[in-house]
Amino acid sequence: MGSLDSNFPESSLPFSQFKPLDPEEFRKQAHQMVDFIADYYKNIETYPVLSQVEPGYLHSRIPNTAPYKPEPFDAILRDVQKDIIPGMTHWLSPNFFAYFPATVSTAAFLGEMLCTSFNSVGFNWLASPAATELEAIVMDWLANMLKLPKSFMFSGTGGGVIQGTTSEAILCTLVAARDRALARIGAENISKLVVYGSDQTHSTYAKACKLAGIIPCNIRSIPTTADTEFSLSPSLVRTEIEADVAAGLVPVYLCATVGTTSSAAVDPVAALAQVAEAYGVWLHVDSAYAGSACICPEFRQHLDGIERVDSLSLSPHKWFLTYLDCCCLWVKTPSLLVKALSTDPEYLKNKPSESDSVIDYKDWQIGTGRRFRALKIWLVLRSYGVANLQSHIRSDIRMAEMFEWFLKADARFEIVVPRRFALVCFRLNPRAGSEPGLIESLNRKLLECVNSTGRVYMTHTIVGGVYLLRFAVGATLTEDRHVVAAWKLIKKCADDLLKEG
């Protein structure tokens, strides 16, 4: 070396620099990994969709301490195959009908690769201008696809941000609404704030309320009934709010859901907005699952009235072919979000931010660092176009209709709530007038029978006191034949159970 470092003392230890990102080594191993993943997708049906391992299974298979010396990549991949895959519940299996499917696509994977490879930490505009600007652009693209009003777009007066999960989207908007209210009534009155949802609202809502400092007895969970297909009644919300106001409390936030987690019920957005407006309550619409369907004109009516709400969230990692994690949040008044969440440390100060001409997304979310998630959505939208996304939604719904049709043709089964989107809620109920407890235990056994085969995975819920089975169609690899095979298996289990009984 030259004279520049001639004064730098030689290390007494032998030292050669470790190079963890050698481009040629990267090329070789990444190609190998892509082959591994492609084979995994190709063979996914050969694995039990619901993992059959026992708790703690991995302990006996993996050493208690990390290796001191490096291990070869081939050996690691072999262990993934041998030890990890058996412990996976295969969410991408075409036989996965549980929860809501997490849909994916080649385009989103490639976007995820790019996002990961840049590893931009884009907390403010300057930290990666493209990350911020592309995010603002794709959020406006999506808003357009959903026919959201200009008041939710950057090209209008609002804007959108990509978060990790619905939980974060709800917490951030709730904190904005809370601070708006506290600015009026004084921070010392936080225990007067009341929030509203239904008994079908996702469990993450109550968690977000607690995190935001809403006292638990001020979290109203308004009951729903079968008469309204488990949607939230605007008149009940009004009654609750009026009672709270009369008691000197301060209504602050209402969470409506388009497509509830249990049964995909749809709350009436426009009528709820009318109530929320009358009392100055922030109205958020959680459409994590079903929002994606609203890009099809035949489903857009579920968002009617959206111009009157304060915020809307939708998770492309559910039904928009986008790998976890990705939740889109639009707000009508970004300044309220920013006011509640902004930070201004010296080490992040910069001219563009001070000029107020850029978005600093760190002020729209919980964390500081953030991934370049917009790439995933951008690749999906460009690679497939709106047309293919619409037909993907419609094809899932058509398969759910087929499953519904099978159920209707077998008098032993009943559809408990009308099918919504691609979710069918049903139960086995062979003898009208049976004890509710007996029907429930029969259905628990049916679910156990189906899931223990490893050939199909479904889950259950309870709505209106009724235990039911959920069949959520839409894993990306699912085709008609998988739905047919699942139905045959369900029928076979039912036959066996009824023979026993």
Question: Which of the stretches 147-155, 161-169, 187-195, 229-237 binds ligand PLP when contact is defined by CB under 6 A?
Answer: 161-169
> Residue 344, Cα to own-chain centre: how many angstroms?
30
Q: Which is nearer to ligand PLP, 200 or 429 (CB)?
A: 200
**Shortest distance, position 344 Cβ to ligand PLP, whole Å:** 29
According to CB under 6 A, which residues from 326 to 355 bind ligand PLP? Answer: 327
Burial of 13 (0-12, 13-18, 19+ CB in 10 A): exposed
CB atoms within 10 A of CB 297: 9
Q: Is 204 in the site for ligand PLP (CB under 6 A)?
A: yes
Q: How far is the CB of 21 from ligand PLP (least distance, A)?
A: 32
- Residue 257 binds to ligand PLP (criterion: CB under 6 A): yes
Of the pair 182, 422, the CB lying nearest ligand PLP is at: 422
Q: Is 292 among the residues that bind ligand PLP (CB under 6 A)?
A: no
HEC string of 209-272 equals: HHHCCCCHHHEEEECCCHHHCCCCCHHHHHHHHHHHHHCCCEEEEEEEEECCCCCCCECCHHHH
For residue 104, the minimal CB distance to ligand PLP (Å) is 14
Residue among 138, 137, 157, 143 nearest 332 (CA): 157
DSSP β-ladder status, 219-222 and 466-472:
unpaired
Rounded to the nearest whole angstrom, what is the least distance from the CB of residue 286 to ligand PLP in the complex? 5
Q: How far is the CB of 477 from ligand PLP (least distance, A)?
A: 20
| Contact criterion met (CB below 8 Å) for 299 and 293 | yes
The answer to the question of residue 262 lying near ligand PLP (CB under 6 A) is: no
154 scored as a contact of ligand PLP (CB under 6 A):
no
165 binds ligand PLP (CB under 6 A): yes
Quick one: 384 or 421, whose CB is closer to ligand PLP?
Answer: 421
**Choice between 179 and 286, CB closer to ligand PLP:** 286
Q: What is d(CA 416, CA 414) in angstroms, rounded to the nearest whole number?
A: 6
- Candidates 23-31, 163-171, 397-405, 482-490; binding stretch for ligand PLP (CB under 6 A): 163-171
CB of residue 471 vs ligand PLP: minimum separation in angstroms?
A: 15
Under the criterion CB under 6 A, does residue 263 sit at the interface with ligand PLP? Answer: no
- Nearest distance, CB of residue 186 and ligand PLP, angstroms: 32
Q: Which residues neighbour 468 within 8 Å (Cβ) at sequence distance 6 or greater?
A: 263, 416, 417, 425, 426, 427, 443, 460, 461, 462
Query: Going by DSSP bridges, is the β-strand pair 327-331/311-314 parallel, antiparallel, or unpaired?
Result: antiparallel
Q: Which is nearer to ligand PLP, 222 or 449 (CB)?
A: 222
Cα 228–chain centre separation: 25
User: Measured from the CB of residue 366, what is the shortest distance to ligand PLP in angstroms?
Assistant: 13
Q: To 5 degrees, how large is the angle CA 499–CA 434–CA 440?
A: 75
Binding mask 438-477 for ligand PLP (x = CB under 6 A): ----------------------------------------
Sheet of strand 159-163: strand arrangement: 159-163, 327-331, 311-314, 282-286, 250-257, 193-198, 219-222
Count of residues that interact with ligand PLP, criterion CB under 6 A = 15
| Terminal CA-CA length for the chain | 85
Positions 76 through 105 that interact with ligand PLP (CB under 6 A) = 100
* CB-closest chain residue to ligand PLP: 165
Q: Cβ of residue 99: shortest distance to ligand PLP, in angstroms?
A: 7
Distances (CA, A) of 252 to 176, 249, 306, 312, 486: 10, 10, 18, 16, 45
Give whichever of 180 and 202 is closer to ligand PLP, judged by the CB atom: 202
Residues 6 or more apart in contact with residue 277 via CB below 8 angstroms:
283, 308
If one asks whether residue 311 binds ligand PLP (CB under 6 A), the answer comes out as: no
| Cα–Cα dist 182/76, whole Å | 54
Work out whether 487 is an interface residue with ligand PLP (CB under 6 A): no
230 forms part of the interface with ligand PLP (CB under 6 A): no
Copy the structure tokens of residue 250.
């301060």
Judged by CB under 6 A, the stretch of 84-92, 146-154, 207-215, 253-261 that binds ligand PLP is 253-261
- Residue 70 contacts residue 29 (beta carbons within 8 Å): no
Interacting residues toward ligand PLP by CB under 6 A: 100, 165-167, 202, 204, 257, 259-261, 286, 288-289, 315, 327
